[in-house]
Amino acid sequence: MTARARYIVGVDVGGTFTDLIAFDEAEGRLLSAKVPSLPGEQWRGVLDALTELGIAFDAIRAFVHGTTIATNALLERQGAKTALVTTKGFRDVLEIGKGRRLVGGLFDTTWQRPAPLVPRDRRHEVGERIDADGTVLATATESEIEALAGTLRRQGVEAVAVAFVHSYRNPENELAVAAALRQRLNAVPVTESAVLIPERGEFERSSTVVLNAYLTPVMTKYLGTLSSELSGRGIRAPVNIMGSNGGAMTLEAARQRCVGTFLSGPVGGVGGAVRAAEAADLGDLITFDMGGTSTDVALVHGRAPRMSHDNQVDAYPLQMPQLDIHTIGAGGGSIVWIGPDRTLEIGPQSAGASPGPACYGRGGDRPTISDANLLLGRLPTDRPLAGGLVLDVAAAEAAFRALGTALGTDDPVALADGALAVAVAKMAGAVREVSVHRGFDPRDFALVGFGGAGPMHGFMVAEELGMTRVLIPRFPGHLSALGQMMADLRRDFVKAWGGRLGTLSPGALKREAEALRRQGVGLLLDDGIARERQRHAFTIDMRYAGQSYTLGIPWNFDDPDFGPLRRAFDDLHAATFGFADRANEAEMVNIRLVSIGDVDKPVLDFASPAAGDPNAGGRSVWFGRWLDTAIFDRARMPAGFAFSGPAIVEEAGGTSVVPPGWSVTVDASGALVCGFDDGTR
Amino acid sequence: MNEVGRLELIRESLVAVVNEMRANIIRGSYSSIIYEGHDFSCALVTSDGRLVAQGLADNPIHIFAVPYSAAEVVKTFGDDIHEGDIFLHNDPYTGGTHLNDILMLYPVFYQGRLALFTAARCHWGDVGGMTPGSLSGRVTDIYQEGMRIEPTRIAERGRMNEPFLGLLLDNMRIRHERRGDFNTMHGTSLKAAEHIQRLFRRFGGSAFLDAVEELILRSETLMRQRIGAIPDGTYHAEAYLDSNGHSPEPLAGRLKLTVDGDRLIADFTGSSPQTGGPTNVGPAMALNAVASVVKSYLDPQTPVNHGSFNPITIVNPRGSFLNATLPVPCGGMAECRAIMVAMMVSALGQALPQKLVGDLKGGANHVYVSGPHPSSTDDKAGIFLLYEYPAGGTGATIGADGNHVVRAFPEGDFNVVQPAEVVEMQCPVRIEHYGIRENSCGDGEFRGGCGMRRDIRVLVDGASLSVLADHAVIPPFGVAGGYSGAANRFVVLRGGEVLQPSPVPGKVGGFMLRKDDIVRMESSGGGGYGDPLKRDPERVARDVFLGYLSGERAEQRYGVALAADGSVDAGATDGLRRRVRAARLMVRVAAASADDFDGPRRRIGLSPAVAARLGVGEDDLVELATPSGAAALRGWVRMAPGTDGEALRLGPLGIAALGSAAGDRIEVRAVGAIA
């Protein structure tokens, strides 16, 4: 690293805007730029934003990219013309799955199943079969493969997925057919299901490999263009892509496993929240990332974000390890409306950037959560927001009054307060989903609020759930990008292996685990991570004999026997489901390995606060009644500064609304560390 | 707390409790039908048994029957209900569904007074009885279907009645799984009650319970508004079940639906008597079926609670197969519900033609393959049990084709088959084919979805097959002139031969299988909507290109001629459509003073000439259809020599059910001519 290479760059390419920030390690400064994204040429937005930032390209030492390429290509159905090769008798599995709707449909006589990504004419069967033990019963013949290759060429196929029944037990038929097709189809990418994700369940595995094949050409093209354009401008720093598992991926890994990037955006925020919480010495937290149209929440236990392995993207199952991030369609721009039974509803429709909430004065006439906040005094009316926008109270009021008729009230404050309460209940429901539903009590956790609207609503969500600690990190609007910069490289591995504990030996488990770890070490070495900077951790998926769903139990490779594992499983089962079947036999189902490669991270030492008085006056704000509320300027708050709610903390890109009962201290990292004590708890 | 938004907060909180219950049951249970199949539902009910909340993934067939069961528990135990009590119930005659669906009710108290019940109804894989899995198409009384539990207190003030529980479980196959399911329901109930107590503390118990009443009232008000907008009148429908599993005699369902201002009266008087086979159902199912269709047609969006049921009155005399009494079996409750749903779809569809939807697969399609498990280390009592319940195609509507092989609108979102990779690990079978059953859709301007075909090779000797399904003889009907979907079909392939495993199609009890037999399940397609000759030829070509439909069928039914490259031959199509139309057998409706019923069967008198043109004879099944009508009207041929071939005499109920009038020209068709 040269002395001049002082910038770490994080970039988020969204559907509308490309956000880029650079952290200047030399001065502890954060630079940011926002430019329009260009459909089909997202790399151009990245370059535009870099140019706008005005930093020397050769002074960039690392570059991390959160990309929505895969997500957008899927939503817009702009993926490649894909074919699927299956076991004889199974070509319709992709279309009909297990007969479930998977997306809504109860009481809806006109419901339509979303079309499969590979239509029936491009789903081809070959005469191969493997049984449940992995024994090969039949293999595809040479002439069959030859004919298939001809058909695929004739169909103009751009990507191929191969998914055979029981390939997770024995991949040899899949590997052989895929290799034969690669040889015959030149540049067409071919993906095997068992290579991508060797887990049981032919529908989920087929769906996952099809998603990957469908998106690979789009991703490959984008990443290829991006890296050549960046190096063309003299950027020598390696480019990493954020993965849904919370770690970064090299460009090559992202090309091969683009289905590992669906959560590329939101995971950055979780990582950023973990770092911010670490600085405040908190290990158990719930991240609350609220933006304009949606809110993402995740649970972090012992500094480790929880993972989820059986996921769904759009209407399609996705068997990929992802952070267990729960997203709901409620954000600052969500529209407030009246349901047919005269109840108040929020979202999922959003006013978006255009026309935006009514108070933006850009023609929006439907009330939103932002309008509610304005009417309750939580947003400034007397001066512009950071972006120069002056909010229009009269427009917000008119929008809410229109709703009042249906509810029999003309009090816009009561309506705004009610709308906010309903929105908060929805968001609390999302928090409950990742905590209570997984066996955790949210009251044992701190809520970390960020994103454009997180600091404004986080305290209310915490109160709703009885949580008494809230953390608002510095630069909450940029936390996702900051989190990306701090992300280590990460690779996930799984091996379907196990049986009843009584029939297994610890030695056999160790042999299997060691083989996985060798893979992890090798791949990280290929990624340029030396052995001493690697960490490898195992989890065992366990259940009671007779159950199907599993719980992931951390396993220490050096345990002499299965005792600690079994006890940990029983305890977690009791905590999660209300009972433990301690007398029953337990089974192992999968061995999972997470391999982490440490990368050089920036030291997020922000510049000292600006000089001057942090007190910025006060105004009347609604907290169930109107209260005189102090306003603070966050940029001027020194470490150790303390105050109590009701209070409002304003800064570029976010407003924290601290209700009565909360006391706040600014810690050394600049974060607001907040505790609730109303005397009753 | 501010009044605005409080109700919604409470409603969100109620749904959160139910969703949490669901998550716990899926993850903790031992019956594959629960954790893979999701054949269970959760709900909250008031202290007098009214439905408060269910989740959107919960199955109305379970949940809409819970209030009846809960009311029965309240009636039985009165004031003798205490904190820590747990109640079990599955008895169909007092509000249960079928015996496999075990309901656990757990009372939740506020300040010493009963406030709510949590309810979890889970389909246990086996509850004892004559055949593994407990459901069979060939039972003759309910004692063959397993353990029957009238409202029973299984735990009193927190103390489990272990001897009783033991007795129950000892009489069920694969005992440890049943115990695991019980534990899961128990743990789930406790967790849910804790959650509700937190809500009481937060909102104040009385305020909370008041809000529950207000939510129910609002649903009722909305539903009354929606019903008030339907034209007043009386609408008739009829539908048939294939058989009771023993004789080929069909069972007739009859419905008179009255729309009177803001209320609905559904009267099932005149339906067939109860029968000594599985196709009966207890008293809870009629409201269940009626409310499911009312909800779907009138208010599919807002969360379900009891208020939606209040405007509905059910008239359903005891002793019919739709309101059965001891000791007739009730395993076929889903089949009975299906024809009540079908009749409601048709009757309410006469009032609201835009809502009409083609008929569905006719029930649950329970299929069991069971036998000795070759692996001796397995502790499942040495047997394997494979239980699947194939989805069919869904019905078409005025603007949309049905979907292939998927749960339909009145059904919860279950998995209907297990992955081959799971099945083959747990059972000595091999899944050789699992796919869309081509040509099974009900044809129409909008076609129904296709059903599925699944071939299961049995790898051991000594296994047996049981099936409980309907619509294996009488297929799902089309609407507004649309055609039937293909009927369900369950056969065994043995050495190249096709064996019928039962003299009564769809009802199989313990048919002995041999090693290498293939059990073939083919589920029905959804009924079509409208005249297939009006279907966009490009859509027909697309269906042929993708293999959902044969070229032959495209010509015969849709009158679409395709060129060698698969594209539409427009000129040939015009001519073909004219010829297909001309070949239809049209008759004129003539009013008869009474309907011609012969036991359960509607008789349709045809002149020998008309019968000959249709290729049908005495007792064959035919249907009458018209684009302006609702469901096609089915009946059995009565040869009527000497009648005017142009005229077809129909009684007042028939004319009403068809949605036609005397003098209308309607089409007569043989049913099942193209399978």
CA B370 to chain centre: 24
Domain stops at, among B222, B244, B267: B222
Domain membership flag for residue A334: yes
Alpha helices in B280-431 (DSSP H): 285-298, 333-351, 420-426
Tell me whether B592 touches chain A (CB under 8 Å): no
Predicted confidence at residue A335, as pLDDT, reads: 93
Chain B segment 326-365 residues within 8 A of A by beta carbon are 355, 357
Domain membership flag for residue B246: no
Predicted confidence at residue B303, as pLDDT, reads: 82
CB–CB contact B300 A96 (8 Å): no
pLDDT at A680 over 70: no
**Residues B516 and B539 reside in one and the same domain:** no
Please report, for chain B, how many H helices and E strands are present, in that order.
15, 27
Residues of B in contact with A104 (CB under 8 A): 56
Place of tokens 């997984």: A438
Chain B segment 444-503 residues within 8 A of A by beta carbon are 452, 455
pLDDT at A72 over 90: no
As a whole number, mean pLDDT of residues A497-511 equals 92
As a whole number, mean pLDDT of residues A262-291 equals 92
| Pairs across A and B, CB distance < 8 A | 234
CB–CB contact A549 B27 (8 Å): yes
**Residues B411 and B517 reside in one and the same domain:** yes
- Is residue B468 classed exposed, middle or buried when 0-12, 13-18 and 19+ CB atoms within 10 A define those classes? buried
Taking residue B320's Cβ as centre, other Cβ atoms within 10 Å add up to 25
Predicted confidence at residue B56, as pLDDT, reads: 64
Q: How far is CA B566 from CA A147, B449, B548, B561, B648, in A?
A: 21, 21, 14, 9, 41
Q: B528 and B478 in contact (C-beta within 8 Å)?
A: yes
3-state DSSP assignment of residue B647:
strand
- Is residue A450 classed exposed, middle or buried when 0-12, 13-18 and 19+ CB atoms within 10 A define those classes? buried
Tell me whether B41 touches chain A (CB under 8 Å): no
Residue of chain B minimizing CA distance to A412: B4
What is the C-alpha to C-alpha distance for residues A21 and A38, in angstroms, rounded to an integer? 18
CB–CB contact B9 A111 (8 Å): no
pLDDT at A157 over 70: yes
**CATH number for A18:** 3.30.420.40
Has this prediction a pTM greater than 0.80? Answer: yes
Residue of chain B minimizing CA distance to A411: B4
Cα dihedral A119, A329, A273, A19 in deg (nearest 10): 70
Number of domains in chain B: 4
Residue of chain A minimizing CA distance to B194: A578
Predicted confidence at residue B378, as pLDDT, reads: 46
What is the C-alpha to C-alpha distance for residues B286 and B315, in angstroms, rounded to an integer? 9
Q: How confident is the model at residue A386 (pLDDT cuts 50, 70, 90)?
A: low
Tell me whether B379 touches chain A (CB under 8 Å): yes
Residues of A in contact with B436 (CB under 8 A): 92, 95-96, 120
The region of weakest confidence among A89-103, A294-308, A345-359, B301-315 is: A345-359
Distance from CA of A338 to the nearest CA of B (A): 11
Tell me whether A547 touches chain B (CB under 8 Å): yes
What is the C-alpha to C-alpha distance for residues A323 and A309, in angstroms, rounded to an integer? 9
Strands of the sheet with A239-242, listed across from one edge: A29-36, A17-24, A7-13, A60-67, A239-242, A248-250, A489-500, A586-597, A534-544, A551-555
Which contiguous run of DSSP H or E holds residue B236? strand B233-241
Q: A335 and A352 in contact (C-beta within 8 Å)?
A: no
DSSP string, B449-476: PP-EEEEEEE-SSS-EEEEE---SSSPP
Residues of A in contact with B391 (CB under 8 A): 99
What is the C-alpha to C-alpha distance for residues B327 and B282, in angstroms, rounded to an integer? 11
**ipTM of the assembly?**
0.93
Among A107, A165, A572, A626, the strongest candidate for a mutation testing the B interface, having the largest count of B CBs within 10 A, is A107
**Residues A324 and A274 reside in one and the same domain:** yes
Domain stops at, among B562, B583, B604: B583
**Residues B609 and B622 reside in one and the same domain:** yes
**Residues A320 and A435 reside in one and the same domain:** yes
The region of weakest confidence among A236-250, A343-357, A412-426, B603-617 is: A343-357
CB–CB contact A112 B400 (8 Å): yes
**Residue B298, both tokens:** 């009138």
**Residues B465 and B507 reside in one and the same domain:** yes
pLDDT tens digits for A444-477?
999 999 988 999 999 999 998 899 999 999 989 8
CB–CB contact A107 B417 (8 Å): no
Q: B425 and A165 in contact (C-beta within 8 Å)?
A: no
**Residues B170 and B80 reside in one and the same domain:** yes
What is the C-alpha to C-alpha distance for residues B176 and A666, in angstroms, rounded to an integer? 56
pLDDT tens digits for A554-577?
999 999 999 999 999 999 888 777
What is the DSSP pairing of strand B621-625 with strand B601-606? unpaired
Domain membership flag for residue B134: yes
Predicted confidence at residue B320, as pLDDT, reads: 98
What is the C-alpha to C-alpha distance for residues A428 and A407, in angstroms, rounded to an integer? 24
Predicted confidence at residue B651, as pLDDT, reads: 96
pLDDT along chain B (675 residues), means of 10: 72 86 85 80 93 78 87 94 96 94 96 95 92 88 96 96 96 89 94 91 91 94 95 96 93 98 97 96 95 94 89 97 97 95 97 95 93 66 85 96 96 89 93 98 98 98 95 96 97 96 93 97 98 98 97 97 96 97 94 95 94 93 94 95 83 93 94 58
**Residues B47 and B99 reside in one and the same domain:** yes
Predicted confidence at residue A384, as pLDDT, reads: 73
**CATH number for A315:** 3.30.420
Tell me whether B191 touches chain A (CB under 8 Å): yes
**Residues B557 and B618 reside in one and the same domain:** no
**Residues B547 and B520 reside in one and the same domain:** no
Burial code (b: 16+ CB inside 10 Å, e: under 16) for B612-640 equals eebebeeebbbbbbbeebbbbbbbbbbbb
Q: B58 and B18 in contact (C-beta within 8 Å)?
A: yes
Distance from CA of A108 to the nearest CA of B (A): 5
Predicted confidence at residue B381, as pLDDT, reads: 57
Distance from CA of A218 to the nearest CA of B (A): 26
Domain stops at, among B583, B604, B625: B583
What is the C-alpha to C-alpha distance for residues B374 and A412, in angstroms, rounded to an integer? 71
**Residues A245 and A125 reside in one and the same domain:** no
Among candidate residues A658, A654, A657, A661, the one with its CA nearest the CA of residue A681? A661
Q: How confident is the model at residue A16 (pLDDT cuts 50, 70, 90)?
A: low
Tell me whether B536 touches chain A (CB under 8 Å): no
Which contiguous run of DSSP H or E holds residue B167? helix B162-170
Tell me whether B391 touches chain A (CB under 8 Å): yes
CB–CB contact B28 A549 (8 Å): yes
**CATH number for A122:** 3.40.50
The sign of the dihedral angle between the CA atoms of A314, A318, A322, A325 is positive
Residues of B in contact with A432 (CB under 8 A): 16, 20
Tell me whether B410 touches chain A (CB under 8 Å): yes
Instruction: Please count the residues of chain A.
Output: 681
Domain stops at, among A457, A482, A507: A482
pLDDT at A2 over 90: no
**Residue A300, both tokens:** 């972090």
Among candidate residues B631, B292, B310, the one with its CA nearest the CA of residue B480? B631
Predicted confidence at residue A381, as pLDDT, reads: 81
Predicted confidence at residue A292, as pLDDT, reads: 82
Per the structure, the complete domain to which residue B632 belongs is given by 586-670
Domain membership flag for residue A642: no
Domain membership flag for residue A360: yes
**Residues B138 and B160 reside in one and the same domain:** yes
The sign of the dihedral angle between the CA atoms of A518, A522, A524, A530 is positive
Domain stops at, among A230, A261, A292: A261
Q: A146 and A185 in contact (C-beta within 8 Å)?
A: no
**Residues B52 and B190 reside in one and the same domain:** yes
**Residues A204 and A251 reside in one and the same domain:** no
Q: A334 and A420 in contact (C-beta within 8 Å)?
A: no
Residues of A in contact with B412 (CB under 8 A): 106
Among A110, A137, A312, A326, the strongest candidate for a mutation testing the B interface, having the largest count of B CBs within 10 A, is A110
Tell me whether A436 touches chain B (CB under 8 Å): yes
**Residues B44 and B146 reside in one and the same domain:** yes
Domain membership flag for residue B349: no
Distance from CA of A166 to the nearest CA of B (A): 6
Number of domains in chain A: 4
CB–CB contact B435 A544 (8 Å): no
Domain membership flag for residue B310: no
